[in-house]
Structure 1
Amino acid sequence: MLKYSSVFRKFLISYVVILIIPSIGGYMSYLTSISVTRSISIENSVTQLQKSQDILERRMAEVEGFTRQLAINQELNVLMNERDNERNVYGIWKAMRNVLTFGQTNDFLQDYYIYLANYKLILTPGSSYRPDHYYDNFHYNDLSLEEWSKEVLEKSHRSEIKPLSSFVSRGTQTSVITYMQSLPLDSFNDTSPAVAVVIIDEKIIASLLSGLTERYGGWVHISDAEGQTIVLQGSSEPEMVKMVSDPSFDKNEVSQFYGDDLVITTTSNKNGWVYRAGIPRQVLMENANTIKETTWLITGGTLLIGLIVGLVLAYRTSAPINRLLNVMKEQFGKDEAGPRNEFDFLSGNIADMITQNKFLESELNRQLPLVRDAFLKRLIAGEFKSRDEILSAAEQADIDLLQGKGYAGIIQINGYAGMDSVEILNELSASRLLVKQGLSELGVDVLMTDIGSDKVVTLFFSMNEESGKENEIADINHTMENLAQYVFNEYRITIQAGFGELFASVTEVSLSFDQANQALEYAVYMNKKGIMWYNEAQTENTTYYYPLDSEQRLISTIRAGELEEAKRIVHAIIVQNMEQRELSIEMKHQLVGEMKGTFLKLLDQKAFTEYASIESVKRRVIDIGSSETLETIQSEFNEIMEELCGLIANKKKDAHIQIIKQIKEYTAEMYSDAELTLYRVAEQVERPEKYISQLFKEVTGVNFSDHLVKVRMDQAVVLLKESGYTVDEIATRVGYNSSHSFRRAFKRLMGISPSAYRQCVDE
């Protein structure tokens, strides 16, 4: 630890500061959470009380509505106005049946009666009583029969409510409030024909407030506008009187703490009733206390774990930095200027390394033209053995070969023949640069390289397939004429150019270059100015054309199984010797013999000796007659190449089939593994992932991912038919982490869901 003490301490302090900052933010969030939780609890309690108030007022409104329905009831009105008591028993019975047996959805209407003054009769649901008989079973403890008759039955009431009173119902003690309404509604005298009385048990009202009393363990008190108690649960009357009379208690405050309780107060706008609920402080803050305990526990644990992690990270981070410091000091020497900050030391040395790296990068960029020039020189010299090698080298040199077709040309600066002094070479170097600059300024996309002191090689590539040969030649002629005029007008430089035939492949660039060289030599020899094309040069050739690089490319191409490229090389050789040269019989025989020798050398290589039919191919090569026409000989060579490339293709195909077989076998074995990917399959068959992907698609016609889905779905079908596994279990068994993904894949492939498929099978 002492070894890393300086850097270690700096990192540790940084980690501790990082821990403290969010801890402070967390503490502020904790205080806010406590405040918000408390506010939410109070708000929820107020809302709960207001909801209970709304429900109670609606129920009481229904009670009032019930009495209004009685007031307009025809049978009841007949009874209220009837004076012949003996002859209307049927009317009483009918009223009891039609009026007093309403289907009651309001539990506040469970116990009510109607007093008919003219009959001195009390009607209840299902029975009728004389007042004294009714009083024997149902009466208030604080009212005698006479008091009850006088204050309730014989008095006119207008939506009057008797406060909470002790009440006996068939021997059972309870507390009730009483709603009283005289009938008809316009009764203003001291007495009225009838009185509707609804007795509401305190327990029924208390049930509406149970959310406050049972949930929080508090109390509820409802009083009328005069302060008389309507409902009281969870506390006593003296305590309520004491609280209301306490000067510290604000009667108009919606929520306030009194003693150990949060007291919530609301007042009805309809009847002036006052609703109060008391909730114990500790219950109200239960959630906040839980948050508090959890926060302290998590914060403490997090700080402890964070400190331990900080120690580990500080050590792990400082150790490699110190090792790097040691390496730097060993490589660059210790700081002689006295002790410095370690990071300054590293920063200075790394800055030097970056500077050197940028310098190296600039040097590489500076060398890129040399790399391109070297590539072009190898290309025109025919040093590449195959087309793939050319394409790879071109990519390395950052050169775009476009369609791979075009024309090779040589531009010669006139007037310096036979001169090789230092001054002349310098002047030629500048002239070549000016010629290449002139081509660039003309906006021509062409590859250029120097050859000799007075020549520049150009490669004009075809831009697209649609432009014809004649148009391309015309464009090149026009470009060269403009170049000649430009360099002469600007620098008094005269040029001469020779161009070869079209090369149809990048492997034929060297041939086109040789033709351009021959055309230029012919133009110089004949003293012809401007541009000379190879087909315009009248050359006499006494030898055949079959360079060594063409032979090597032909062998490499056949071994790679590239039939079309091999045919193109043979065709180019035949065209050169048939159309561009006049060969003697002896030269023709030697050419055919050379080409036959090439094929015999090829057949003796290991790539072909393993085939039993190779001897017959050799015999066919030997039997090619030199006296036949070159067209016939080319046709025979093409047939031989087709057979050889067919052998290579079959060999590749067999290898591909074997690889595909391995892939399918491995997939069939591992399909249940949810982690099975193309990368793992490529590892199994020891081939690159991209190669496997292309090969599988080429051989089977489908992507590997689609094949894997098909294998999994086939197995899923078997399990759906023959097993009792659920769809989720089947999804896991066939390699899906998500049953949703499995259902979607099954429906996409099979057209229906797995469950529907199983039902179809069961049916």
Structure 2
Amino acid sequence: MGLTRNPFNKRSVLVTWFVSYVSVLLVPMLISGLIYTATWHVVEAEVNRSNESILGQTEQAIDNSLLGIERLSIEIALNKRVAGFMNTTLPLTDSDRYDLFNIVNDLRVYKVANDYIEQIFVYYKNSDTVLSTREHMDSRTLYRSVRGSEDKSYEQWKAFFDKRYMKEYVPMQYGDGEQVEKAIVYAKSATLDNSDQSGAVILIVIKDSKLLGSMMPAPNASLAILDSQNRLVASKGLVQSPAFLTYDRLVDAKGLFYEEDNGNRLALSYTTSEITGWKYVSIIPAELFDDKMLYLKKLIIMSLVLCILIGGLVAYIYLRRNYTPISLLIRSFSLKSGVSFDEGSNEYLYLQAALNNTFDEKEKIDSRLMQHSDVIRASFLQGLLKGRLDHNIPLHESLAAHDLRIVSTDFAVLLFHIETYGKFQAEGTADPRKIKLLHFIILNVAEDVAGEQHQAFTTEMDNMSVCIVNFAAQPDEMELKLMAERVQSFLFDHFHVHLTVSISGIHHDLYAIPTAYQETLEAMEYRMVMGSGEIIRYAELPIPRASGEPGSYYYPLHVEQQLINFVKIGDFERSRELIEEIIRSNVGEIPISVSFAKCLMFDLISTLLKTMSELHTVDKSKVLEHADPIERLIGCETIKDMQAQIVEVLEQVCSTVANDHRHMHNPLAGQIIEYVQANFCNSNLNISMIGEAFSLTPSYVSKQFKTYTGEALLDYINKTRMEEAKKLLALQNLTVTEIAGRVGYADINTFNRIFKKLEGITPGKYKDLQ
């Protein structure tokens, strides 16, 4: 195979390893170089830090003194004597000379205030007068004492100081003709409020030797100060400014760089004043710290040589040792797999190609199975829910084969029925593809919600979504309800889809899943009674429904009579409240069956139809044509829908009755009502008494009242008395007998009979309920 004959072929893994080991040897070499570089920078930084410390102290001391000089110049400018002489012109009077004498004395005081000040001059432009602490002179004499350079003429010098406003430091020469020294002059204009006057210039002279006199640079080092106009303000240990020392090269606020000067390598550290903008520069020979690195450089070279010699030997030994297992593996694999290894090939590439070929075959087989896994899994879950499984195969093995892992023996089933399709419905119809997508979303949401704490399996059954919950913790029926609420909320919030959810009981056996599914179907049937969009738990179904007992519904004759009376007088609110109470009594704690619920609803519609037939003033055909109550009830799917339709018909009927009463009202009916309201407490109040009061026959009064109100006069008298009786019963301070007498009934039995007829219960029970 050529593995031993030519192991160092360039494609062999042996070559790769050799290159890797050699690369590892380069690491300590690289680290040594980095250490050398880092050490160099540390030494350089330490020297630079020392220089910066000296420069910082120099900068702080000079800046403080200059700030003092600037403050002193402001005080001089604000001095009344100094400012008052600005308006003086030639020739000078004796009074003017006396003022000059006082100003000179003041300048002497100011000069003593700062040790850096060599001399103070005040140049008055109007009178061409210059004052100092010793004398007064003219501008030409000042030019000979203080000037910038030998080649600057008097006119150029005077033009510089004749500027309207100036405030700057200027390097100049100071002294008489025999002894001249370098100095710095701080020039500040002292102006008047009148812009036509020339004003004055205050000149404060600072000698170069005083500015850096107290500063001690490092051995063999020099100090220099440059202003922003590249002028050498002051220096120490420097005969003349080098050509490379320019303000433009010192770009940053502080730094370090190297320069060559007459064959000498120099290190320049500098910092910048935030007040004046001057550059403070320290210049030292670079050889001061080069010598410190020579010894370290020798040590690093020796360590590199040792790394190469020792590391190379160790790399060769481990290279041969590590290659032996690879060689044996290649021999074994090529013999057993039948795949030959070409001489000179890369061993890893050979193994990778052989393994990839095996994995590709396995992936193709798995891919074919995965293409049908969802359908197979759904079919298995559907068979599990319906109880149609192969009993020859253990159920646990079937679950494992379909990658369904159970965590306990506690199970429950949730069934989801779509009531409205929301965003998936367009123009009254839903696309089958969108319905399929909606079922997919419901299954995924249900699996995610239930799967947060438990195991969940989902599938689609008979156009409904099913979720099997396998409890990982203690089973809790209320937790199932919370899961259903979360799924309902998510679908409504995101897609406006309404769901009805039925929940089975919790079963503690894997084989009870079909039973749990049947429970959800039974609970889902009860959506007719509970209404759509509800969560129906099998455990909450009524006992008659669960046990198969026949059952019935509650709608007695006296309650029906109450409803008829309310409708006859057009009282929609009380009629609606009575219908809601009837339905609540039947679908409350023990709801009725679906068939009995439909019978109840048709009975209520029948009551409304019978009432309309008794009201001669109401156009029954018109109401029926508009309301069409029978067709509406047949089209309803739930009790809530039926209730809504009945209430809507009731509102139309009551509205029609009320309108007819309003249109047919006459003064006699109103007078009769007022008379009844005033005399209902009289036990002798009857139709005959009312007829005598209005000088009419009892039959005429009764007929006219019934015609214009739709209600019998005697019924109205009883209703008025019952309304007052209910108010008195609510007060709880009178007996039933006393109340009967107060509302006009001498016989307690008559009062009880009429009260129960109108209200459905006896007065005593009504009082107990208050």
Q: TM-score, normalised by structure 2?
A: 0.30
